[in-house]
Amino acid sequence: MFYKFHKLILAAAFSFSLFSSQAQGQQPDSAVIRNIYREALTQGKSYENLRYLCTQIGPRLSGSEGAAKAVTYTQKLMESYGFDRVYLQDVMVPHWVRGEKEKAFFKSSVGKQEVPICALGGSVGTGKKGIKAQVVEVQSFEELQQLGREKVQGKVVFFNRPMNPAYIEAFLAYRDAVNQRSSGAIEAAKLGAVGAIVRSMNLALDDFPHTGSTRYEEGVTKIPAAAISTNGAELLSRQLKAGPNLEFNFKMNPQTLPDAPSHNVIGEIKGSEHPEEIIVVGGHLDSWDLAQGAHDDGTGCMQAIEVLRLLKVLNIKPKRTIRAVMYMNEENGLRGGRKYAEVALANKENHIAALESDAGGFTPRGFSIDASPNKVADIAKWKELLVPYGLNNIAAGGGGADIGPLKNDKIALIGFRPDSQRYFEVHHAASDTFDRVNQRELELGGASMAALIYLIDKYGL
């Protein structure tokens, strides 16, 4: 397109002037929020900070060297911004290691075909010889039950129910498909299967296997569980139709090591009037081992740090204490989120709100709020100030995994909700790299979070 003038857009961009009749001497909220966005978009630091985290540190699964480096990096980064206090919170984390790269192939009428797989997080190994077995393909646990032990025993169960693309909101498609990954190995083992292969949680067709936690159940044999790329799943499914007796071979030898020491990383700006009231904003610092963990969840961490930096550089002195928390171990244990809540409880800290960014660094669409209806209504009142920035969806909903353990009658748990369309193409896969993050989208997210934190701090909840 060449050039068009959009009154609509202009109207949105300048709608803050509606609010400018407020108290003189003190900036109206609309102007403060405009300044937050301006600073983030013109002098923002989150993008370059994320570049470092992704490209210089990279994967940072709990217990790994990368995770330790990320702890040190974010600690020093927040110190460099001169926050009032920066500290580490000890937490013991699971320590699972993938070992050498997984291999999988099968033979069909057209010869040997390798397919990309990766062990699911927490999976046991196949042993050095690997596993070779016939395959039974199912779309659901119900279908698996109906097949029964006779048809499953000794086989590899191939869970191949795609994420449902008909959902507008991609997280709903994830919700409906993810039990295959999280519990497939249990259900398959109950019927005597020797392995579980799960179609990657990915709405697109490509060659990346997507990992993610899988669970085992006491009293049920632990069988190896792997994700297969969506293209690999399609290929395998086709070949199974052509030759139902084909044998699937896979080899992987991950290990669960003893729990390892790690840390949550916390930075704070002390409140000037009610320092005992705490507002926390955060993301998780760990990532899966396959990925740079750009969208999951480097963006959330760098946005949380940016929130505090924006307040500081804009000389917005919060009344309440604002904390940025990089939680450790969201991906395979949630130990960091739990530890943070435990310590808060032990110290009788008064958290009035917790905001989490863990849905990718995409264009902001809103916030979902897990709190009493009154508090949801209090936050929704600010909609007029936030809609000019695309934050249309401000309503009751889930908060987030890491802040969940803080839940009580008083706190507002809030999830930052960016556009969801692209998230599952990179989620838990090697494709979750820095170059998939758009600078403006990331910065708009950080500014949106800062705007909300500013309002919560100013008016309380």
Find the binding residues for a second copy in span 149-208 (CB under 8 A). 165-172, 174-175, 178, 182, 203-204
Site membership for a second copy, residue 213 (CB under 8 A): yes
- CB-wise, 319 or 436, nearer to a second copy? 436
Smallest distance, a second copy to C-beta of residue 150, A: 32
Smallest distance, a second copy to C-beta of residue 443, A: 8
Which residues between 298 and 357 bind a second copy (CB under 8 A)? 330-331, 334
Backbone angles phi, psi at 278, to 5 degrees: -115, 135
Give the other-Cβ count within 10 Å of 241's Cβ: 9
Which residue's entry shows tokens 């330790």?
Answer: 68
Member of 29, 306, 441, 457 binding a second copy (CB under 8 A) = 441
Residues 277-306 vs a second copy: string with x where CB under 8 A? -------x-----------xx---------
Smallest distance, a second copy to C-beta of residue 346, A: 25
Considering only the stretches 98-106, 138-146, 225-233, 435-443, report the one whose residues sit in contact with a second copy under the rule CB under 8 A.
435-443
Site membership for a second copy, residue 27 (CB under 8 A): no
* Nearest Cα to Cα of residue 275 among 77, 78, 26, 85: 85
Site membership for a second copy, residue 401 (CB under 8 A): yes
Contact partners, residue 299, CB within 8 Å, separation at least 6: 46, 50, 283, 357, 360, 361, 437, 442, 445
| Contacts by 378-382, CB closer than 8 A, 24 or more apart | 378/459, 378/461, 379/412, 379/414, 379/452, 379/456, 379/461, 382/452, 382/455
- CB-wise, 113 or 372, nearer to a second copy? 372
Site membership for a second copy, residue 18 (CB under 8 A): no
Site membership for a second copy, residue 397 (CB under 8 A): yes
Site membership for a second copy, residue 421 (CB under 8 A): yes
Smallest distance, a second copy to C-beta of residue 417, A: 7
Member of 19, 31, 41, 107 binding a second copy (CB under 8 A) = 41
Residue 378 is encoded by which pair of tokens?
């209090």
The single residue of 277, 330, 356, 443 carrying the catalytic annotation is: 330
User: Does residue 330 have an active-site annotation?
Assistant: yes
Considering only the stretches 80-88, 141-149, 153-161, 394-402, report the one whose residues sit in contact with a second copy under the rule CB under 8 A.
394-402
The three-point CA angle 405-351-320 to 5° equals 150
Contact partners, residue 142, CB within 8 Å, separation at least 6: none
Backbone angles phi, psi at 64, to 5 degrees: -85, 165
Which residues between 98 and 117 bind a second copy (CB under 8 A)? none
- CB-wise, 191 or 426, nearer to a second copy? 426
- CB-wise, 213 or 262, nearer to a second copy? 213
- CB-wise, 133 or 387, nearer to a second copy? 387
Return the active site residues: 330
